């Protein structure tokens, strides 16, 4: 494993704190986001994900902590940070009254691109995001997925090295969500760092190189999806039988199993490693018991999420 130096980090925070009206939202958040990776910030409603994005993208100030984005100290050089980043929030920057192309050209103007270069960049990005055909239509006529893609394309006009995506697929149907995942993967393959917030565990699992789970204003756990899944128990091997005698013989012989008498299935706690599987198979062979089906179950991110966040919804909690 290589160690990541702060030079290779796109985003780094230490002890990031923020309170609203005396109520602490972030109570000391440490983040280290490697360059050129997808980093997902996961957390229940109201955990403070959007607040983190707003602070890192200079839209809101922090109350304390050290923050570096794109190699710049955010407190000392906010302008340099702004030059390195692009932000796509939950509320789109797309103007529905003008066409997709006009939205893009507006962004090119904002970034002071020369006219011709702006046109070229806009056309290339519209093509890349599958919007070339719809480019001359008012953005108000676009589907939710198209608007989201246009939003990201607009963010890219300035050539940011770090992109913040706040809940990029909320409200999209499964097909549009998959398209968006493709877009995000492509961004990263081009060397961009993507910092995204999501409530969809599947999305974090699918996309992110590293995941941080935000809970109670702190990072409850951080790592790759695989590392997080290993943090919590719940992995098991399931043996299913069709012959009741074989089932009973196996249940008696195997000690630490949970039984499902109705389904004629046994669950053996296991980390799913090759060594453990082999010993289970060896044991079955040696006793002459034959299972009809053997399946390996590892905890999924849902299990991790519930274990780490206590399954609470912070928004509802404050309402109660």
Name the site residues for ligand ATP (rule: CB under 6 A): 20-21, 25, 43, 45-51, 199, 315
Cβ at position 46, least distance to ligand ATP in Å: 4
Task: Compute φ and ψ for 87, nearest 5 degrees.
Answer: -130, 130
What is the closest distance, in whole angstroms, from the C-beta atom of residue 12 to ligand ATP in the complex? Answer: 20
Nearest CB to ligand ATP, comparing residues 43 and 235: 43
Backbone angles phi, psi at 31, to 5 degrees: -135, 145
The answer for 171, left when phi > 0, alpha when psi is -120 to 50, beta otherwise, is left
Q: Which two tokens stand for residue 316?
A: 């509802």
Dist. CA 123–CA 113, nearest whole Å: 14
Do residues 215 and 309 lie in contact, with contact meaning Cβ atoms separated by under 8 Å? yes
**How far apart are CB 182 and ligand ATP at their closest, in Å?**
24
Within 10 A of 101 (CB to CB), how many other CB atoms are there? 20
Min CB(102)–ligand ATP separation in Å: 30
Q: Which CB atom, from 46 or from 83, has the smaller least distance to ligand ATP? A: 46
Query: Closer to ligand ATP at the Cβ: 25 or 156?
Result: 25
DSSP strand pairing (38-42 vs 210-215):
parallel
Identity of the residue, 45 or 224, whose beta carbon is nearer to ligand ATP in the bound complex: 45
Q: Which is nearer to ligand ATP, 46 or 223 (CB)?
A: 46
Side-by-side strand order, sheet with 23-34 = 23-34, 9-20, 64-69, 72-73
Q: How far is the CB of 199 from ligand ATP (least distance, A)?
A: 6
């Amino acid at each position: 494993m290589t160690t990541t130096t702060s030079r290779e980090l796109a985003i780094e925070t230490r002890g990031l704190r923020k309170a609203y009206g005396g109520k602490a939202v972030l109570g000391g958040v440490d983040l280290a986001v490697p360059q050129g990776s997808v980093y997902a910030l996961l957390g229940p409603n109201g955990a403070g994900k959007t607040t983190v994005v707003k602070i890192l993208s200079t839209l809101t100030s922090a109350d304390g902590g050290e923050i570096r984005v794109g190699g710049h100290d955010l407190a000392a050089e906010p302008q340099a940070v702004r030059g390195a980043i692009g932000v796509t929030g939950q509320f789109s920057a797309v103007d529905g009254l003008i066409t997709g192309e006009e939205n893009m050209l507006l962004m090119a103007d904002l970034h002071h691109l020369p006219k011709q270069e702006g046109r070229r960049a806009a056309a290339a990005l519209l093509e890349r995001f599958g919007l070339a055909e719809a480019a001359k239509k008012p953005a108000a006529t676009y589907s939710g997925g198209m608007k989201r893609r246009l939003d990201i394309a607009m963010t890219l006009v300035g050539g940011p090295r770090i992109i913040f995506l706040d809940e990029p697929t909320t409200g999209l149907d499964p097909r549009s969500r998959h398209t968006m995942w493709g877009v995000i993967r492509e961004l990263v393959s081009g060397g961009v760092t993507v910092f995204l917030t999501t409530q969809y565990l599947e999305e974090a699992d699918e996309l992110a190189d590293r995941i941080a789970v935000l809970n109670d204003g702190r990072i409850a756990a951080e790592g790759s999806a695989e590392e997080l899944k290993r943090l919590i128990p719940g992995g098991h091997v399931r043996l299913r039988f069709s012959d009741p005698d074989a089932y009973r013989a196996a249940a008696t012989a195997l000690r630490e199993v949970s039984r499902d008498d109705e389904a004629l299935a046994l669950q053996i706690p296991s980390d799913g490693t090759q060594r453990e599987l082999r010993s289970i198979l060896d044991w079955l062979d040696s006793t002459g018991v034959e299972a009809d089906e053997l399946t390996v179950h590892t905890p999924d991110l849902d299990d991790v999420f519930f274990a780490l966040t206590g399954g609470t919804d912070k928004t509802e909690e404050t309402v109660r």
